[in-house]
Amino acid sequence: MESLTASWVSGADNSEFPIQNLPYGVFHLINEDYTASRPGVRIGNSVVDLKALQQHGFLPHLDLQTNVFNQASLNNFMALGRKFWIETRVVLTKLLSTRGDASLKNSDQLKNILFDVKEIVNLLPARIGDYTDFYSSKEHATNVGKLFRPDAEPLLPNWTWIPVGYHGRASSVVISGTPIRRPWGQTKAPTAQFPSFTKCAKLDFELEMAFFVGPPSKFGDPISIAQSEDHIFGMVLMNDWSARDLQAWEYVPLGPFTAKNLGTTVSPWIVTLEALEPFRTKTPLQTPEPFDYLKDGGNSSYDIQLEVWMSTSENQLEKILTSNFKYMYWSMRQQLTHHSISGCNMATGDLLGSGTISGPGELEYGSLLEYSLNGKRPFKVNGQERSFLQDNDSIILRGYCQGDGYKIGFGDCAGTILPAHDKI
């Protein structure tokens, strides 16, 4: 596969979706309704229809898996496991390479298999049964701790011992481009005697990444560190929108609730671990040393450059913040292992979020909570002052890995804030 590095698909080689990427998603054509949705693979500005590709005999290794792409999600394919994922990647690479198998390029069925991205509508790539969000960036947790506990240690005692997380709401995970409605909820000012029911005034984004679970695990059986990557299908960008004023009042003692279930946005294309392998890097030094069940060798992160772009109303996008996935203190392998250590069974399509990803450098923040110091340090975008998100503001998260002469991208993770309902 190393020599098959150029594609005959127009525009693929100079895009964020070259032949080295081949991420998976779910789509239907603009002139179809959602009942026609099926899995696809992104290559340049085109999408390969995997259902049609299999039906026309281009995926013979999946002949016994007759329904793997004949559905509106990737779950059946994700459940097959890494052996089938790698075999499919090899076949796709050969079919799409300039030096590979030319049968697809010369096929009379090409017009029914390869579509321009302008012709499609993206949907969520998987049926998400459960969604868990972690809190695994040490820089982010430290920044937040300093804001809310200035006279105490910023990290709580458990933070360096376990990957802290909470169970989120899968039903409000939405695809990129879906507008997010400003929520109503309870808040309480520090000097107020009683809480109030009002519109959220501190609406924020969270720069995150997430991974999808592939093969499921059995109820009662933990997933070991050694087994963990065999259960990870791939990664997406994620924005776990946050109502900071609601969260401050409601999160004690059980954690985030309505402050987070207003919406969680994911990018449409799942980038596989095989595509990310050249960008594997070490995780930060973990002190104290984790318990044996969480030791993973320290080489289980990825160098993924992250960006936050923002615009006000219909104005031009501006890049306001950056970060990198490699800063994550707790790895995906550790998150999955700890999640299952109790015997909690992981299901195909489960979504596990990294938590907000901040870095050590200037402007390497993953949220406006940090960037604006909880509203005390306003900033400007499009010449307008902001501390938190206002109505009609848009946020786009972007991420990529820079290779030698190519780039692995994830596609936009975008959302625009709609005004709250007039009354509840």
3-state SS track over the chain: CCCCCCECCCCCCCCCCCCCCCCEEEEEECCCCHHHCEEEEEECCEEEEHHHHHHCCCCHHHCCCCCCCCCCCCHHHHHHCHHHHHHHHHHHHHHHECCCCCCCCCCCCHHHCEEEHHHEEEECCCCCCCEEEECCCHHHHHHHHHHHCCCCCCCCCCCCCCCCEEECCHHHEEECCCCEECCEEEECCCCCCCCEEEECCCEECCEEEEEEECCCCCCCCCCCHHHHHHHEEEEEEEEECEEHHHHHHHCCCCCCCCCCCCCEEECCCEEEHHHHHHHEECCCCCCCCCCHHHCCCCCCEECCEEEEEEECCCCCCEEEEEEEHHHCCCCHHHHHHHHHCCCCCCCCCCEEECCCCCCCCCCCCCCHHHHCCCCCCCEEECCEEECCECCCCEEEEEEEEECCCCEEECCCEEEEEECCCCCC
Look at residue 5 and tell me if it is in a domain. Answer: no
CATH assignment of the domain containing 347: 3.90.850.10
Q: Which residue has the tokens 């780039």?
A: 407
pLDDT at position 254 over 60 = yes
Tell me: the pLDDT tens digits for 4-63?
889 999 999 999 999 999 999 999 999 999 999 999 999 999 999 999 999 999 999 998
**263 torsion bin: left (phi>0), alpha (psi -120 to 50), beta (else):** left
Cα 53 from chain centre: 27
pLDDT per residue as tens digits for the range 346-395? 999 999 999 999 999 999 999 999 999 999 999 999 999 999 999 999 99
pLDDT digits (tens, 9 = 90+) for 289-307: 999 999 998 799 999 999 9
Judged against a pLDDT cut of 50, whether residue 97 lies above it is answered with yes
Does residue 8 belong to any structural domain of this protein? no
One-letter identity of residue 94: K
Residues 322 and 381 in one domain: yes
Which of 64, 91, 123 represents a domain boundary (last residue)? 123
Name the band, by pLDDT with cuts 50, 70 and 90, for residue 2: very low
Is residue 1 situated within a structural domain? no
Average pLDDT over residues 221-229: 97
Residues 79 and 221 in one domain: no
Are residues 71 and 45 part of one domain?
Answer: yes
Q: Which residue do the tokens 């690479």 mark?
A: 93
Q: Choosing from 56, 61, 140, 339, which is the catalytic residue?
A: 140
In a domain, 9, yes or no: no
Q: Is residue 10 part of a domain?
A: no
* Same-domain check for residues 338 and 412: yes
236: nearest Cα among 163, 322, 304? 304
Is 140 among the residues known to form the active site?
Answer: yes
pLDDT in tens, 117-175: 999 999 999 999 999 999 999 999 999 999 999 999 999 999 999 999 999 999 999 99
Both 102 and 225 in a single domain?
no
Based on the domain organization, do 144 and 110 belong to the same domain?
no
Instruction: Indicate the pTM of the whole model.
Output: 0.97
Q: What is the mean pLDDT of residues 236-262?
A: 96
Are 140 and 119 contained in the same domain? no
Tell me which of 123, 148, 179 is where a domain ends. Answer: 123
Does one domain contain both 101 and 136? no
The token pair at 178 is 């879906």
Residue 2 lies in a domain: no
Per the CB < 8 A criterion, the answer to whether 46 and 9 are in contact is yes
Q: Are residues 103 and 180 in the same domain?
A: no
Give domain status of residue 18, yes or no: no
The set of residues, in sequence order, having a beta carbon less than 8 Å from that of 15 and lying 6+ positions away, is 44, 45, 407, 409
Q: How many domains does the chain have?
A: 2
Any domain includes 3: no
CA atoms 197, 199, 204, 210: torsion sign: positive
Is the domain of 398 the same as that of 342?
Answer: yes
- Final residue before a domain boundary, out of 123, 157, 186: 123
CA neighbor of 75 nearest in space, from 20, 132, 129: 129
Are residues 203 and 81 part of one domain? no
Contact, 271 vs 410, CB < 8 A?
yes
Q: Residue 199 has what pLDDT? A: 98
| 113 and 154 belong to one structural domain | no
> What backbone phi and psi angles, to 5 degrees, belong to 281?
-150, 170
Over the chain, what is the mean pLDDT? 96
Which domain range does residue 211 map to? 131-418
Q: What is the pLDDT of residue 3?
A: 66
**Other CB atoms within 10 Å distance of the CB of residue 11:** 13
Q: Which CATH number covers residue 119? A: 2.30.30.230
CA distance 19 to 9: 9
